[in-house]
């Protein structure tokens, strides 16, 4: 029988947690890593605003996810696995998942912190009972992850598709979270190479008004105009639709910065102080846009972890593509 890692390689499956890393390569690294003990982590923290497809999978296909984890345990030679769930998912799905797990060495773990705990090294620290902040990479999880042991970490959707591959049912699809000012919000499964325009049309969610979208995620996702919707969603598969005329950019920016301010771990100076200052500038009677963009420049180049670097993406997109540089102090254009 063909080994599952070889099947995953032939399928072309990439991780669905946002990094888009080849799944077979990560599994191979963990399998070959030296270590007396290895671990599996199924990341169900799903902390990116606008993304709720992992919750949909846990509700509708929990058995498939657990089976995917069981396959991983055997494939890489791991001793134990953790299903790492954000608090509402833990309350909602814990009992059912434990029934499915039965006597398998799979532990349901409740995410103790916020958004940043979904970052893999911060996730490991939270399971270990340490402070919730990222660590330096390398070493990467396949070499030193949970308790400094080789660790395979994939998200819920990835393990679901591993199950599909094992059964010969994988059709190169993925799940998308659709929300915002649309008729039919929800989770949909479509081919992974479908572009945003096609997804909105196929779900009868193409608006009758002028709009723009935030694709990939609801906080760090990129801003796209109508002319740019012929590309794939990327990221965690989220699409949020905004009415161009009714959306006040400055209010949207304040919403984003409040999220990043609340979820900031405070470990590195550029991100800690940069996000604080961005929030301060947005709440001034007269906004200094030059200072705002200078701070984005610093965040992108000096932040310790992806949170600080990814903050830049939606703000720059909104300023350049939607507001333009002809704006007033209230964000009207």
- Residue ranges of the domains in the chain? 4-166, 173-243, 249-323
Q: How confident is the model at residue 168 (pLDDT cuts 50, 70, 90)?
A: very high
What pLDDT score was predicted for residue 333? 35
What pLDDT score was predicted for residue 308? 67
Q: At 40, which helix (H) or strand (E)? A: strand 39-44
What pLDDT score was predicted for residue 1? 35
Contact 299, 274 (CB under 8 A): yes
Same fold, 4-166 and 249-323: no
Instruction: Measure the N-to-C terminal CA separation of the chain; round to a whole number of Å.
Output: 62
Looking at domain 249-323, which CATH architecture does it have?
Answer: Up-down Bundle (1.20)
Looking at domain 4-166, which CATH architecture does it have?
Answer: 3-Layer(aba) Sandwich (3.40)
CB atoms within 10 A of CB 268: 18
10-34 as b/e, with b when 16 or more CB fall inside 10 Å?
Answer: ebebbbbbbeeeebbebbbbbbebe
pLDDT one-digit tens code per residue, 197-210: 999 999 999 999 99
Helix (H, G, I), strand (E, B) or coil at 45: coil
pLDDT, mean of residues 84-111: 95
Exposed, middle or buried, 204 (CB in 10 Å: 0-12/13-18/19+)?
exposed
CATH of domain 173-243: 3.10.20.600
What pLDDT score was predicted for residue 260? 84
pLDDT, mean of residues 72-87: 95
The residues facing 155 across adjacent strands are 43
pLDDT one-digit tens code per residue, 295-304: 888 887 777 6
pLDDT, greater one: 159 or 15: 159
Contacts of 119 (CB under 8 A, 6+ apart): 134, 305, 306, 307
The mean pLDDT value of the chain amounts to: 90
pLDDT one-digit tens code per residue, 270-294: 767 778 888 999 988 888 888 888 8
Q: How confident is the model at residue 252 (pLDDT cuts 50, 70, 90)?
A: very high
Please work out, in degrees rounded to the nearest 5, the angle formed at the alpha carbon of residue 128 by the alpha carbons of 124 and 129: 120
């Amino acid at each position: 029988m063909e080994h599952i890692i070889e099947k995953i390689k032939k399928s072309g499956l990439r991780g669905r947690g946002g990094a888009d890393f080849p799944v077979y390569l990560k599994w191979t690294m963990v399998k070959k890593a030296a270590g007396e003990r290895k671990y599996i982590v199924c990341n169900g923290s799903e902390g990116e605003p606008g993304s709720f497809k992992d919750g949909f999978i846990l509700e509708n296909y929990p058995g498939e996810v657990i089976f995917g984890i069981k396959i991983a345990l055997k494939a890489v030679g791991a001793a134990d696995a953790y299903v790492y769930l954000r608090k509402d998912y833990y309350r909602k799905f814990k009992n059912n998942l434990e029934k499915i797990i039965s006597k398998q060495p799979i532990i349901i773990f409740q995410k103790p912190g916020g958004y940043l705990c979904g970052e893999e090294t911060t996730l490991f620290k939270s399971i270990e009972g340490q402070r919730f902040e990222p660590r330096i990479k390398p070493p990467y999880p396949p070499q030193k992850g949970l308790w400094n042991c080789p660790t395979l970490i994939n998200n819920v959707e990835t393990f679901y598709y591993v199950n599909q591959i094992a059964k010969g049912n994988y059709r190169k699809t993925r799940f998308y979270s659709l929300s915002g000012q649309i008729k039919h919000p929800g989770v949909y499964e479509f081919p992974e190479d479908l572009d945003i325009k096609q997804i909105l049309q196929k779900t009868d969610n193409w608006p009758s008004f002028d709009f723009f979208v935030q694709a990939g995620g609801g906080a760090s996702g990129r801003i796209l105009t109508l002319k740019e919707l012929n590309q794939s969603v990327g990221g965690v598969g989220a699409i949020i639709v905004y009415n161009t005329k009714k959306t006040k950019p400055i209010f949207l920016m304040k919403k984003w910065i409040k999220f990043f301010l609340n979820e900031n771990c405070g470990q590195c100076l550029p991100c800690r102080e940069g996000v604080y200052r961005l929030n301060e500038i947005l709440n001034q009677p007269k906004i200094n846009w030059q200072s705002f963009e200078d701070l984005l420049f610093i965040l992108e180049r000096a932040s310790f972890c992806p949170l600080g670097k990814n903050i830049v993406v939606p703000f720059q997109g909104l300023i350049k593509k939607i507001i333009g540089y002809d704006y007033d102090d209230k964000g009207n254009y």
